[in-house]
Amino acid sequence: MNTILKLHDALIGAITAMIGEWFLPTFARFSFAAVLLCYFWNSAMTKLGDGIFGFLSPSETAFYQVFPGKTEEFGFDISQFGTLEHLIVVAGTVAEFLLPALILIGLFTRLAALGMVGFVAVQTFVDITGHGVDAKTIGGWFDGPSNALIFDQRLLWMVLFAVMVVKGAGPLSLDRLLRRNPV
């Protein structure tokens, strides 16, 4: 058994030395860009109002996505929302564009990934409590199927974000470039 363990350790040690510290954060950012970047940006696009500053005057869809019950209660008349709700929707819209962009270019990656953890937690809470998604969509851990949109998929998203929070952006990033060239 010791021989097998030594062989295992030698093999894993060689692989780890070969790929180094660059692989995991770079792969996490690549995976985020390949799978989730367009998801978040497309979602953010549905929240924009008219014009170049459309993020400052969010659409009815934006209010419905963030405050579904209240939006229905107001008959989709978003003028009935107060300043606080307006600021929350604007902040959410900006975050949905900005945080993924920061991860993509590798700038303030740890903070952006931590922000995405919070964003997805709020998104999940609103989906479950506000949009009333069904039990199949919510799913459950350790239940066999791995295809639930909420618990299964979003747990995997959190793994990507956790890697970036802990490991940073990797060598192909503005974070690394700025550290090498202090102002």
The span from the CA of 24 to the CA of 170, in Å, is 8
Structure tokens at 75: 């008959």
User: pLDDT tens across 31-62, in order?
Assistant: 999 999 999 999 999 999 888 888 899 999 99
pLDDT band at 102 (very low <50, low <70, confident <90, very high): very high
User: pLDDT tens across 146-179, in order?
Assistant: 889 999 999 999 999 999 999 999 999 999 998 8
User: pLDDT tens across 107-129, in order?
Assistant: 999 999 999 999 999 999 999 99
Q: Which residue, among 80, 49, 46, has the nearest Cα to 65 in the 3D structure?
A: 46
Q: Is 127 helix (H, G, I), strand (E, B) or coil?
A: helix
**Considering the entire predicted model, what is its pTM?**
0.89
- pLDDT score recorded for residue 19: 84
- Residues 133, 127: contact at Cβ < 8 Å? yes
Q: What is the mean pLDDT of residues 82-107?
A: 97
- pLDDT score recorded for residue 182: 58
- pLDDT score recorded for residue 137: 92
The span from the CA of 180 to the CA of 183, in Å, is 10
Does position 144 have pLDDT exceeding 70, yes or no?
A: yes
Percent of the chain with pLDDT over 90: 78
Over the chain, what is the mean pLDDT? 93
pLDDT band at 183 (very low <50, low <70, confident <90, very high): low
Structure tokens at 142: 């350790």
Residue with the larger pLDDT of the pair 53 and 97: 97
- pLDDT score recorded for residue 161: 98
The span from the CA of 71 to the CA of 65, in Å, is 9
- pLDDT score recorded for residue 181: 64
